[in-house]
Structure 1
Amino acid sequence: MSEAPTTHFETSSGAVNTGPGDQNIYNYLQAMPTLSKDPAGRTPRTLAEEELDWLRVHFENPVQYIEAFEKLKEQSTVLLDGEHGDGRNAAARMLLLRIADGGKRLQEVLLREDERSSRQLDPELIDDEDRLLLDLSRSSDDLWRTVEPELSEFRESVRQRRAKLVVILPRGVSHRLGPELTRLRFVIERPPGMELDIVKRHLRVAGIDPTLADTTPNALGKFLVQRRPLAEVATFAQYVCKAYLEGNNFPGACDKALEALQGHPESAANLLAKVRNQSARALLLAAAMMQGARADAVHRAAALLLEAADPTASKRPALQHPLLSKRLHPLSAQIDAAGRVRFSELGFDIAVRACVWNDFPQLREILRDWVGDALTVRELDDADRDALITRFAEQTLACRRPRDLLILVERWSRIDNSKTQLRAAASALIRGLHDREFGRQFRSSVYDWSTDDRLPPGRRKVLVDVCRDDMAVSHPNAALVRLHHLARREKHSTMARNALLHLTADDHRLRRRMLSRLGSDLSPAAYERGGRKHEREDVGLFLDHNAPEPLIDAGIRTHPLISESGVRNDLTTGWAAVFRVAPAEQWTSSVHDWFSTACAEPATFGVLIDILIAACDRRGDRLGAVYSAALAWTAPASVPHAEATDFPGRVLRQITAAPSHQPPTARETTPS
C-alpha cells in the first residue's frame, strides 16, 4: 500500500434528464472558461480521477483490509485505526472505491458542513448509495467526544440509504469505544515486507523488471530497515523508477533515490553555508523554486529576489556579470539543452527549498512577497507558474503559515483584468483547500469571502471557479453553501447563479439541500428574524431550482424527490414567497412547466397542483393568479397535451377540494 497525493476525489456519474432549461445551462457552463484547469487542460475532476487511477494500480493490501472490506459490505460502516504513516487514508479510499464499483461518487464528510446546522454530522446530507469518508485522524479528544454520540444516527441513515461509510479514528480513542463501535473497528497495519512490495509494484507499473529489487542493493536494504511512513516509501520508489529510466543501473538508481530522500538536506545546508554572496543565494533559491523554467526567467526572478531581500544591494553594469551558466555551476545547477535550469542531483531542489524556509524564518514574508512578484515574470509559462505556486504552498504550509498563501490569493484576486493573476489565485486557493491539516481553514476563508457584500469582482470570479470546479469534486455540500451566498450577492453577472445550477443539475442530494436552504430563508420564521435582505434574490434562485422534471425523476434512486415530505414543504414555502413578492411575468413560465409535467405524468398531477394551491395560503387573489395561468396555458396555440383540454376545470376542482380554500371569482384572477 502506498499513499496517493492528497487531492480528494469524485467519480463521474451519469446526468439526469433535468429538462430543456437546465440542460441548456449545463451546456453553457461546460463551455465556460475555467481558471482551475492546469496547463495541460485538465480540470480538478480529471486530476481527481487520475489520482484514483494511480491509487488503484499502486495499492498494496494492509493487514485487516480484506476483513474490513467484508464488514463494510455487511454493516455499511467500518472504523479504521492504526499508526500514523501506515496508510489508513489510502486504505479507506480503496475500500470505498472498490465497493463503489465505479458507479457512485466518493466524497469526504465534513464536520458541521452547513453553517446552519447545530450538529457535527448531518444525516440529511446522505443520499442513496453514497460512498463517504470521515477522516478524524487529526481530531482532538474533545472533538471526538462531540462526534461519537452522533455517529449512531448518522450510521443508521447510511444504512437506510444503502450508503457506505469509512471512519478513520483519532489516535488513542479505541479503548473508549462501546461494544457497537468496537465490532466495526479494524487496525490497519503493514505486514512484514510491505515496503519491498510497494517498491516492486512501482517498478512493475513503470515497466521495470520488479525482480531487480530481489537483489536488494545496499541503498535499498538500508532504506527498507527503516520504518518510514508509507508515503515516503512511495516517494522513494518513484525516485528509483525515475533514476533507473534516466539510464542508471538499478543499484545506482537506489543510491540516487536514497540520496534524494535523506542526504540532500545536509548537502543543501552545507551549500547555503558555503555560498555567502547574496546574489548567488538569490540565484540558488530562484533555481530551486523554478526548476524546469527557462534560464532567463530564473535570472529575472533571482534579480527580483535580491532586490526584495536587500534594496540597497549594489548593482553591477550588465556587461560585468559572469555568465549565467558559470554562476549556476557551483550551485549544482545547469542549463539543459532546452535552455531550462535544472539541478544535477535528483531532489536537490526540494532540499534547498526546505532548508531556506526552515533555517531563514526572517525571510518568509519577503519570500511570500517575492513569489507574488515573480509570478508576473513574462518568461514564465503557465506550467512554470503552477509549479512555483505549488512549491511555495508546500513550504509555507509545512511551516504552518497558511495565512501567507491566503494573502497571495487576496492580492492576486484584487482586480479582474489579469487572467494570469486570477489563475494563480485559483491555483493557490486549491492547494490550500487540499491540505489535510489546513483545508478547513481555507474552506472557512472561502465562506467568509462568499458572504462579503463588497467582494472584489476578481475574487468573486476565483471563488465561483474554485467552488464549481474543485470544491464541488471533493466537498459538494460546502461548495453549494458558498455558491448560494455568492449567487444572492452578485449584481452585474450570473456566474455564481449559473454555477449553482450546474452543481445541482444532476445531483438529487444537492437539489434537495438547495431547496431546503431556500425554504428556510423564504419561510415566515426567517422574516421574523429579519431575513428579508436577500428575499428577491432567493425567490429568483428558487425559480431556477423548481423545474419539475428532476423533482419527479427518481434516476438511480428508489424514489423521486417529490415523494419526500420535506421537499414538498420546501417547495410550498418557496412558491408562497414567489406569489408574495414576484410579478406574474417572472413566475408564469415556471408554473406552465409544472402544468406541462402534471399533464404529461398523470401520477404527479395531484401532488404538483396541490403544492401550488397550498402556496397560495388561502388567498383568493393568488388562487386566482394560478387559475389565470391555467387558462393562459390552455390557449389553443399552446396546449402541449391532449389531456390538457379540461385542465382549467381540473385545477378549479382541486382548488375547491382543498381544505378552507374558496374558488377564485372573476375579480380575483389578477396576480398580486
Structure 2
Amino acid sequence: MSGDSHTWVAGAAGPINTGSGHQYVIQVAMEETFRRLGPRARDPRAVARGQLRHLRARFVPPTGYARARRLLTERSAVAVSGPVGGGRRATAQMVLHELAPDGDPVHEVDIGEEENETPLDAGAVGRRARLLLDLSESDTGQLLRLRGALADFLAVVERREARLAVVVPEQATALLAADLAAHVARIDPPPTRAVLMRHLRQDGVRLTPEELDLPEVAAELAGASLARVAELARLVGEAHAARPDAGFAAWSREALDRATEDAAKTAAFLAGLPDGRRRALALTVATLHGARPEIVQRALDLLSTQLRHGRDARPRLDHADLTAELEKVRAKVSGPDGRVRFEQPGREEAVLDHFWTYYADLRGDVQAWVVRCVRILGLPTGERERVVDRFAKRALRGGEPERLLTVARAWTGTDPSQQLVPDATQALTAGLEHPRHGRAVRRLILEEVRRADLPKFQRLALTVVCSRVIAVHHPDQAMVRLHHLARRETRDQRSPAWEELRELVMAERRLAARLLHRLTRHIPNGRHAHADADRRLLLGLTRPLAAHPAPLRADAFREPLVRGWADALERLPRAEWDDAFRWWLTAVAGTADRHGDPLVEILAEAGAASPRTAGPMYLAARVWAHEDPALRAARLPVVDRLRRALDTAQGLTPPTPPEAPHSRPRSTENAP
C-alpha cells in the first residue's frame, strides 16, 4: 500500500483490476458503470462546475436576490430564506457562483455526523472557499445543535476570507436568530412563465412570448413549484425533439398529457382491471416498459410467485397469449423493435406511483421482485438501467432511501455480482443526488463502509459513489468514507479505495492535511482497532506529499507527519516503513537544498520524538546512500543533512539559522 502502483484507471473507459480472474467481465462492468455515471466518472470538480454553469443558464433571479448577493459580498455570509419550492437552494448556489465563476467548485458542508464532532467543522473552511450549508431538511434537534456553533463557524469563514450561503427553512430563522439575524435574505419565487421560457430557450425551443399564451399552460403554471416548471419544460423539450415541426401548441399538449396522467385517472384504470393477475401485469409492464415480450412474460411469472398468486392449473395453451393479456391492460407490442408499451404516454410512471402509494404493504415484495428481475432475467444493460431508475424514483418518492442501500447490497453481495456493480452504483447515485434524501443516503453509506464484512464488489460500488458522486459537492465526507473503505483493503488485494482516496486528497491541500490528521489522531491514545492500517495509509501518502514539499512547512502538515513517522518507525518492522522512507530521502535528493528542508526536518523531529528509532533511521539512510555507486555522491549529502538535523532536534547542536526571515512559516494560518 505504500507503493504507487495504479490499480484503477479512472475514467469512462477505466477498468479496475480487483485481483485474478474474470478480468474481462470486470472491465465490461466498470465501463458500463462509468457510462451511467457520465461526466462524474472523470473529474468530480469539473462536474460541480458544469452543474453550476447549467443552473446559471436556466436561472431567473427571484425577488430578494440583490439583497442576498449584497449580504454575501459585504458580510461573508448570507442566509437564504423563503417558501418551499421557491428556489432557495438555487439562489444560494448562484450568489456563491457569481463570486468566482471560473474558480474552484462550491463545496457543501453538513452538520457533524461522527461521534464527538462539533456541529460544524471549521476544518472544512479553506482559504477563500465558497461554502453551501443547506438546512432546509434539518429537523428541530439538528437546528438546536447549531445554536452558538453557527456564529463560531461564521467567524472562521470571515477570518479565512471564505464565503458561506446558508439555506434556511422559514421556521428556522427565529430559532437561529442570534446567529443569523444580520445575514437573512428572504426571497420570493420568480414568475413561473419567465422560468419556463428560460428553460425552453436553453433546450433549443425558441418561442415568442405570445406563443406561450395558451390557457392550459397558464393554468399549469399557476402556483407551480419551480421543480414542476422545470419538469414541464423537459417534457416540452422531448416532444419538440420527437416532432420538431408540430408547433408549441402540440408540444405543450403532449407534455401536459404526460404530466397530468394523474392519480384519479390511474386509480380508475387499475380499479377497472378484473383481477390481481391483470394488476400484476400492469405493474410488470410499467416496471419493464419498453422490454421484449418474453422478458415481460418471465417477469410477470416472477411477480406472481413473489406475491404468492395461485397458478392456473389449466394447460398453458388453454390460457390467453400475452398479446391478449396486454390488450386488457391497454398495452401492446409496438414499434419496429417489437417492445411492450402502454398505449397512453406517461402511464407507466403513473402506474408505478399508484402502486407504490396505495399498495404500500407490497413495497417489500416489489423490491424483492425488482432485485430478482435485475439478477436473473438477463436484461440488457439499458433495460436494467431503466428498471433501476424507476425503482429508485419510487423509493425516494415514498421517503424510503434505505431501500436503495438494500438493493445495492443484494446486487453486489454474491458472485457473479461484478456484473451488477453498474446497477448498484446507479441506485446509490440516485439517492445521493436527491435534494431531500441525499444527506440520509450519505449517512447510510457511512454506516455501511464501517462494516468489516463488506463483500468485494459491494466495496467497489461504494468506492465508486464515494469518489465520483459524494466528492462532487462533499469532498470531506467522501474522504471520510474512502478512509473507512481503504482501512479494510488487505495488502494482498488491489486497493481501489486507497487509490481514489489518494487522488482525492492530493487534488486539494486542505483535504490532504485533514487526512493526515485523521490518520494520526489516535496515536496519543495508544492502539486502536485500525492502527496498523492507518500507519500503512500514512506511509502510502508520504510519496506524493514528498514530491511537493513546500506545503509541508505548515503546521497542518508538519505536525501530523512528525507524529505519523515517529509512530511508524517505532511500531512497524523496518520492512514495512523502508520503502516509504527511501522515497522520502530520494525526494530530498531531487530538490534544491532549502526546498528539501521540511522533509529532512520532519524525519529528524520524528526521530527525536521516538529516540529508539533515531539509530535505525540513520542506518537505513546510510544503506540507501551506499546501495548504488552511481548515486552515492548525490545521496551522501542528504544523509549528512539528516544527521545534522537529528542532532539539532535532539538538542545536541544549535539549529542552523534560516536563509530568510520567512523561509519557514510555522503558524496555522499557513494551513491549506
TM-score of the aligned structures, taking structure 1 as reference length: 0.85
Q: Which residue of 2 aligns with 1:69?
A: 69
- CA drift at 1:289: 1.6
Which amino acid counterpart does residue 472 of structure 1 have in structure 2? A
1:564 equivalent in alignment to 2:554: yes
Spell out the pairing of 1:20-419 with structure 2 (5 A cutoff): 25=6, 28-29=9-10, 31-33=14-16, 34=30, 36-39=33-36, 42-43=39-40, 45=44, 51-113=51-113, 115-175=114-174, 178=177, 181-191=180-190, 194-211=191-208, 214=211, 216-224=213-221, 226-247=222-243, 248-314=246-312, 317-334=315-332, 335-378=334-377, 380-419=379-418
Does structure 1 conserve the Cα–Cα contact (< 8 Å) formed by 2:151 and 2:179? no
Q: How far did residue 47 of structure 1 move?
A: 6.6
Contact 1:135 1:168 in 2 (8 A): yes
- What is the one-letter code of the residue matched to 2:573? P
CA distances 1:99-137 after superposition (whole Å, capped 9, x unpaired): 332331222212114x25421100112223332211001
Following superposition, the deviation at residue 58 of structure 1 comes to 1.9
In the alignment, the residues of structure 2 paired with residue 636 and residue 386 of structure 1 have an alpha-carbon distance, to the nearest angstrom, of: 56
Q: Following superposition of structure 1 onto structure 2, how do residues 561-600 of structure 1 map, counting pairs within 5 Å?
A: 561-599=551-589, 600=591
Match of 1:610 among 601, 605, 629: 601
CA distance in 1, matches of 2:303, 2:210: 44
Partner Cα distance (1:26, 1:68) in 2? 46
Partner SS, residue 631 of structure 1 = helix
Q: Please give the secondary structure, in 1, of the residue aligned with 2:127.
A: coil
Distance 2:37 2:123 in 1: 38
The verdict on how the C-alpha distance between 1:576 and 1:66 changes in structure 2, with shifts beyond 3 A counting, is same
Equivalent of 1:632 in 623, 639, 654: 623
How far 1:255 moved relative to its partner? Answer: 2.9
**Structure 1 residues 658 and 291, CA gap change in structure 2 (3 angstroms):** same
**SS of 1:118 mapped into structure 2:** coil
SS state at 1:616 partner? helix
1:196 is displaced (CA, Å) by 1.0
Superposed, which structure 2 residues align to 1:356-505 within 5 Å? 356-378=355-377, 380-491=379-490, 492-493=492-493, 494-505=495-506
Q: Which amino acid aligns with 2:141?
A: D
CA distance in 1, matches of 2:446, 2:37: 29
In structure 2, relative to structure 1, the CA distance for the partners of 1:379 and 1:592 (3 Å cut) is closer
Looking at structure 2, the residues matched to 279 and 396 of structure 1 have their Cα atoms a distance apart, in angstroms, of: 23
**C-alpha displacement at 1:544, in angstroms?**
0.7
CA distance in 2: counterparts of 1:483 and 1:75, whole angstroms: 35
SS at match of 2:429: helix
The counterpart of 2:647, out of the listed 631, 656, 662, is 656
Structure 2 runs not aligned, ≥5 long: 17-29, 655-672
In the alignment, the residues of structure 2 paired with residue 409 and residue 641 of structure 1 have an alpha-carbon distance, to the nearest angstrom, of 55
The aligned amino acid for 2:68 is A
What letter matches 1:276 in structure 2? P
Structure 2 Cα separation of the partners of residues 254 and 63 of structure 1: 28
Percent of matched pairs sharing the same residue:
29
Partner of 1:547: 543
Q: 1:551·1:561 contact (CA, 8 Å) conserved in 2? A: no
| Offset, 1:315 | 5.7
Q: Contact (CA 8 Å) 1:294, 1:379: kept in 2 or not?
A: no
Q: After the TM superposition, which of the residue ranges 598-607 and 571-580 deviates more from structure 2? A: 598-607
Deviations 1:35-76 (A, max 9, x none): 742448654548766644432322212122233234323433
CA, structure 1 residues 498+307, in 2 after alignment: closer, same or farther (shift >3 Å)?
Answer: same
Seen in structure 2, the aligned counterparts of structure 1 residues 69 and 621 have a Cα distance that, compared at 3 Å, is same
Distance 2:48 2:263 in 1: 31
Equivalent residue letter for 2:518: R
Q: Is the 8 A contact 1:297 1:377 kept in 2?
A: no
Separation of aligned partners in 2, 1:97 and 1:471: 19
What secondary structure sits across from 2:626 in the alignment? coil
Contact 1:515–1:571 (CA under 8 A) maintained in structure 2: yes
Q: Give CA deviations for 1:319-339 in whole Å, capped at 9, x if unaligned.
A: 444453443344343322222
Q: Determine if contact 2:570/2:610 at 8 Å carries over to the other structure.
A: no
Instruction: Report the secondary structure of 1:62's partner residue.
Output: coil
Between the aligned partners of 1:469 and 1:134, the Cα distance in structure 2 is: 21
SS of match in other structure, 1:25: coil
Gaps (5+ residues) in structure 1?
1-19, 554-559, 664-672
3-state SS, counterpart of residue 546 of structure 1: helix
CA distance in 1, matches of 2:378, 2:639: 69
Q: Distance in 1 between matches of 2:164 and 2:652?
A: 47
Tell whether the 8 Å contact from 1:29 to 1:502 is kept in structure 2 after alignment.
no
Distance in 2, Cα, partners of 1:458 & 1:27: 14
8 Å Cα contact 1:78/1:185 also seen in 2: yes
TM-superposition CA deviations, 1:358-401 (whole Å, max 9, x none): 11122212111111111135452212212211211221232233
Question: How far apart are the structure 2 equivalents of 1:263 and 1:498?
Answer: 47
Q: Distance in 2 between matches of 1:640 and 1:62?
A: 66
Instruction: Pick closer, same or farther for the CA change 1:538–1:215 going to 2, 3 Å.
Output: closer
Cα distance between partner residues in 2 of 1:164 and 1:652: 46
Shift of 1:29: 4.7
